[in-house]
């Protein structure tokens, strides 16, 4: 078993460039949860030259939207959604300081090129483990676009949130390197 690297937010450039595809990480600190509808609104603000509702510098966006909170819990179940749906908006967010994304699935060439240019990483979270992931959320609050419900922007304080570096800041990509090993 690989060692687990503990990282905290906001991410700094030194930590980012030392993370390699295949590294297991535990993330502690604030991360933002935002899905398709929030990303569309971010992009519309960028196109109009307006300020975003969050400062992206050094931050991580988790492509997720929690279910309603049950009594006695801090957060509803929250698992990763398919990341490619955010690809049209991601390069613009990376240009504004976003340093990490958590989701599942492939990313476009444009996103990967922008990650290399802007020194960012893409983490995968385990799909199907939304109730377990929610246990890592110690604080949850809606900070923008409350009208979007589960697609609002949430700020989560997480402790030891488990993820895997799938694409590192040099563009090394497990989705490209690993499948050929298992085709034989």
- Which letter, b or e, does each residue of 7-26 get, where b requires 16 or more Cβ atoms within 10 Å of its Cβ? bebbbeeebbeebebebebb
Q: Which residues are catalytic?
A: 39
Asked if the structure places residue 129 within a domain, the reply is: yes
Whether 1 has a pLDDT exceeding 70, the answer reads no
* pLDDT tens digits for range 80-110: 889 999 999 999 999 999 999 999 999 999 9
Asked if the structure places residue 95 within a domain, the reply is: yes
Asked if the structure places residue 19 within a domain, the reply is: no
Domains in the chain: how many in total? 1
* pLDDT tens digits for range 30-60: 999 999 999 999 999 999 999 999 999 999 9
Asked if the structure places residue 59 within a domain, the reply is: yes
Asked if the structure places residue 75 within a domain, the reply is: yes
Long-range contacts from 143-147, C-beta under 8 angstroms, 24+ separation: 143/32, 143/53, 143/54, 144/38, 144/53, 144/54, 145/37, 145/38, 145/41, 145/53
Position 128 confidence tier, pLDDT thresholds 50, 70, 90: low
Cβ neighbours around 142 below 10 Å, total: 15
CATH of the domain at 116: 3.20.130.10
Asked if the structure places residue 55 within a domain, the reply is: yes
What is the domain extent for residue 46?
24-182
Asked if the structure places residue 143 within a domain, the reply is: yes
**Per-residue model confidence (pLDDT) at position 181:** 80
* pLDDT tens digits for range 149-181: 989 999 999 999 999 999 999 999 999 988 778
């Amino acid at each position: 078993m690989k060692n687990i690297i503990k990282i905290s937010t906001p991410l700094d450039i030194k930590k980012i460039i030392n993370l390699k595809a295949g590294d297991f990480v535990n993330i502690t600190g604030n991360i933002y949860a935002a899905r398709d509808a929030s990303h569309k609104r971010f992009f519309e603000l960028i196109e109009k030259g307006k300020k975003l509702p969050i400062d992206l510098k050094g931050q991580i966006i988790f492509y997720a939207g929690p279910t309603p909170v049950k009594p006695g819990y801090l957060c509803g179940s929250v698992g990763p959604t398919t990341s490619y749906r955010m690809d049209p908006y991601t390069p613009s967010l990376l240009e504004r300081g976003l340093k990490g994304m958590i989701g599942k699935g492939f990313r476009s060439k444009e996103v990967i090129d922008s990650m290399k240019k802007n020194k960012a990483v893409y983490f995968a979270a385990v799909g199907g483990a939304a109730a377990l992931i929610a246990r890592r959320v110690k604080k949850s609050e809606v900070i923008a676009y409350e009208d979007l419900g589960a697609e609002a922007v949430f700020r989560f304080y997480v402790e030891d949130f488990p993820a895997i570096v799938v694409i590192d800041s040099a563009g090394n990509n497990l989705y490209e390197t690993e499948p050929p090993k298992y085709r034989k």
